[in-house]
Structure 1
Amino acid sequence: MTRPIPELSELRPLGDGPRLVALIAPAGAVLAERIDTTCALLTAMGYTPRLMDNARARHRYLAGTVEQRLEDFHAAFNLADVAAVWCLRGGYGCAQLIDHINWDALPDVPLLGYSDISVLLSAFHARVRRAIHAPVATELALCEQTDGLERQARLEAMASIAPLLAGESGHMSAEHAAGPTAPVEGVLIGGNLTTLASVAGTPAALHVPEGSILMLEDVGERLYRLERSLCQLLESLDASRLNAVCLGSFTGCDSGDSSIEAVLEEWLAPHDIALYHHLPFGHGEHNRAWPVGQTARLDASGLDWSPASTL
């Protein structure tokens, strides 16, 4: 059953459970006014935002040094009664943290974010921890600042987080683009293409279990750069582990006379891997949340997942 989309004042993006939400900036620096607006909106929604101590820090273009970001990261997950740890933004910097995270000291609290946060989501998946590819917290303000169809899409994206935190099944629309048409099942992995390609061959590399469905999106890249990232990513992993590739939005990406679908079809054809596109996630207003590491079923009717199994 489709849920009615609430007004921003009625929105409960994290559901009706524990009210404390930890806000961290593990990557790029965040503008002070965006932090203030985010905290004010969460408070108005009935939550208690806990802005971690170094979230306003700056080190070059980063939200503080590695040490500062790690301090906030560990502290956020160890807050009593925290409902989720929500990243304020992406940018660049998450890969710098992976080798220094004390995984044994992290309680099982879900992590929310996307873009550069894809690196952390994959690391959580590899360690059987809850990770949700979802809008970052500062995008709450965009629900308030836009109108019409864009506003509705952003509200729907935010509203899609709560069912995942509650452990509910979910659905996302998808269209077959190329390759085999038979339904497939697999573990949901992926995120931002450029980010994931940049960490190939490193300790932060994408975790790819047998039988994966690779979800990809990007923003602001020329097609040749996207192909370069695709080549880097696909050549760095065992393609036999992929059951399908799904494309979200490639916002502001200049494809010229070709398309990302055409490039991927060429790369995937020798491996007989199905390609789907037009999934509503990525940079832009259509950014529905999806559960990293959960098993899903994919066919022409869309992508469906159940919380029953996680790999």
Structure 2
Amino acid sequence: MTSPIIKSSALRPLGDGPRTVALIAPAGAVLPERIEATCSLLTQMGYRPQLMDHARARHRYLAGTVEQRLEDFHAAFNLADVTAVWCLRGGYGCAQLMDHIDWQHLPDVPLLGYSDISVLLSAFHARGRRALHAPVATELALLEQANGVTREARAASMASIASVLQGSAGHMAVTHVAGPDAPVEGPLIGGNLTTLASAAGTSGALHVPNGAILMLEDVGERLYRLERSFCQLLASLALGRLSAVCLGSFVDCDTGDSSIEVMVQEWLAPHDIALYHQLPFGHGEHNQAWPVGRMARLAASGLDWAPE
């Protein structure tokens, strides 16, 4: 029987424009069954999934060699009538591509993903290209398998992609933790904390414009590792350019008797930078899409980004 999710008119993650979507694996290797399920679900939704040639490849824990992943990356953006380039998963490996991307021959097609994809999203932002911090494509399979409130949350997260792709205004609920509580405005940046910290000092370092609102999330890390990454990231940035830090989910992160909020607050306090948390993005069922680089307003009433 066809899944109810497939029937849902709300689940049009890429909108109603051109139907071709390129699927790439620029980082970790992807399970074959996840690939097959993702392509099948996209087809049932009326899309034309174009799985790139090396998406099933494996080199150690990576989705192929650097050369294979680069070939797929460049080819995906040059497909005819492609709506978006959607990463199948994160993992590790995107930073290996940074010094080899041929930006001059890369059409302006939006890139979708999160986690390890954060490095690429920031690079796109730095070059004025469209990038969405959004669920990866294989999470369609997780959505199909989910039930109850988890299913509803995953469906809402997938459905949020379309409005961001269309350039619409958006909103996320927030909770103020510490620091100045006056409204601030600036471009949205960030992504996975561990990934961004590891790229500090390299060609994939986080792009930080003035007034930036730094969005962070992570998964499966002990608190001391999160602190190590946060200190590394902060030390690599011009802190005067940050207007606020917003924390999404930190799934399966062992924080012991402390919390990620307390740790981050301690390091931000000397710099008088506002801290907010409980934003609905990151690893897990609540992963609302947001536009990297889009101007936004942050206040106790929420995070609101302007239309394009």
Equivalent residue, structure 1, for 2:97: 97
What's the CA shift for 1:143? 1.0
Equivalent residue, structure 1, for 2:220: 220
Give the letter aligned to residue 79 of structure 2.
Answer: L
User: Are the counterparts in 1 of residues 5 and 144 from structure 2 also a CA contact under 8 Å?
Assistant: no
User: Are the counterparts in 1 of residues 177 and 277 from structure 2 also a CA contact under 8 Å?
Assistant: yes
Equivalent residue, structure 1, for 2:170: 170
Equivalent residue, structure 2, for 1:7: 5
In the alignment, the residues of structure 2 paired with residue 172 and residue 43 of structure 1 have an alpha-carbon distance, to the nearest angstrom, of 30
Equivalent residue, structure 1, for 2:270: 270
Give the letter aligned to residue 104 of structure 1.
Answer: Q
In the alignment, the residues of structure 2 paired with residue 24 and residue 213 of structure 1 have an alpha-carbon distance, to the nearest angstrom, of 28
SS of match in other structure, 1:34:
helix
Equivalent residue, structure 1, for 2:135: 135
Instruction: Give the aligned length.
Output: 303
SS of match in other structure, 1:160:
helix
In the alignment, the residues of structure 2 paired with residue 57 and residue 264 of structure 1 have an alpha-carbon distance, to the nearest angstrom, of 39
Give the letter aligned to residue 9 of structure 1.
Answer: K
Equivalent residue, structure 2, for 1:45: 45
Calculate the aligned-residue CA RMSD, in Å. 0.8
In the alignment, the residues of structure 2 paired with residue 168 and residue 299 of structure 1 have an alpha-carbon distance, to the nearest angstrom, of 19
Question: TM-score, normalising length from structure 1?
Answer: 0.96
Equivalent residue, structure 2, for 1:56: 56
What's the CA shift for 1:301? 1.0
What's the CA shift for 1:8? 3.3
In the alignment, the residues of structure 2 paired with residue 108 and residue 72 of structure 1 have an alpha-carbon distance, to the nearest angstrom, of 16
SS of match in other structure, 2:86:
strand
1:170-229 Cα deviation digits (max 9, x unpaired): 001111011101001011000000000001001100000111000000000000000000
In the alignment, the residues of structure 1 paired with residue 5 and residue 228 of structure 2 have an alpha-carbon distance, to the nearest angstrom, of 41
Question: TM-score, normalising length from structure 2?
Answer: 0.97
Give the letter aligned to residue 158 of structure 1.
Answer: M
What's the CA shift for 1:275? 0.2
Which aligned pairs between 1:61-72 and structure 2 lie closer than 5 A? 61-72=61-72
Equivalent residue, structure 2, for 1:32: 32
In the alignment, the residues of structure 2 paired with residue 38 and residue 146 of structure 1 have an alpha-carbon distance, to the nearest angstrom, of 15
Which aligned pairs between 1:109-120 and structure 2 lie closer than 5 A? 109-120=109-120
User: Are the counterparts in 1 of residues 281 and 289 from structure 2 also a CA contact under 8 Å?
Assistant: yes
In the alignment, the residues of structure 2 paired with residue 42 and residue 274 of structure 1 have an alpha-carbon distance, to the nearest angstrom, of 40
What's the CA shift for 1:142? 1.0
Equivalent residue, structure 1, for 2:189: 189
Equivalent residue, structure 2, for 1:302: 302
Query: After the TM superposition, which segments of 4 or more aligned residues of structure 1 sit over 6 Å from their partners?
Result: none
In the alignment, the residues of structure 1 paired with residue 285 and residue 93 of structure 2 have an alpha-carbon distance, to the nearest angstrom, of 24
- Over the matched positions of the two proteins, sequence identity in percent amounts to 79
What's the CA shift for 1:7? 3.4
What's the CA shift for 1:64? 0.3
SS of match in other structure, 1:107:
coil
In the alignment, the residues of structure 2 paired with residue 307 and residue 208 of structure 1 have an alpha-carbon distance, to the nearest angstrom, of 21
Equivalent residue, structure 1, for 2:261: 261
Structure 2: which 5+ runs fail to align? none
Tell me, yes or no, if structure 1 residue 208 matches structure 2 residue 208: yes
SS of match in other structure, 1:202:
coil
User: Are the counterparts in 1 of residues 6 and 44 from structure 2 also a CA contact under 8 Å?
Assistant: no
SS of match in other structure, 2:34:
helix
SS of match in other structure, 2:117:
helix
Equivalent residue, structure 2, for 1:3: none
User: Are the counterparts in 2 of residues 215 and 246 from structure 1 also a CA contact under 8 Å?
Assistant: yes
Give the letter aligned to residue 277 of structure 2.
Answer: H
User: Are the counterparts in 2 of residues 8 and 143 from structure 1 also a CA contact under 8 Å?
Assistant: no
User: Are the counterparts in 2 of residues 29 and 64 from structure 1 also a CA contact under 8 Å?
Assistant: yes
